[in-house]
Structure 1
Amino acid sequence: MHLRTCQQCGTTLCCDSSPNKHATKHFQASGHPVVASAEPGERWLWCYVDEQMAQY
């Protein structure tokens, strides 16, 4: 399981590798489109709307 943080509200949720896919469900329910990896050493964002990753 890996953690992702919503860039709009700051909620940290599990990724799509987990059984419940909470980060994706959060996007579907809230419309908040961008998450960032909350894993140490990872610096990237994912946009659900554009289905694109960006490094930062």
Structure 2
Amino acid sequence: MRRFAYCKVVLATSLMWVLVDVFLLLYFSECNKCDDKKERSLLPALRGDAKVGTG
């Protein structure tokens, strides 16, 4: 039973560190500082603003 408790603690701390790493990568990402501000979301495609057949 003690082994299961240790496993839960290891998994919880690992998940916490993964979330911290993802936050830091997104916060300090170079893409946030791009000079050309391109819209990178899916919203234009969902609205139908995207050009169909280009490519």
TM-score range, shorter chain: under 0.3
Considering only CA atoms, is the larger Rg found in Structure 1 or Structure 2? 2
Q: Which has the higher strand share?
A: 1
Give the TM-score normalised by the residue count of structure 2: 0.24
Give the TM-score normalised by the residue count of structure 1: 0.24
Q: Which has the higher helix share?
A: 2
Flag the structure with more relative contact order, 1 or 2, with Cα contacts below 8 A and sequence separation at least 6. Answer: 1
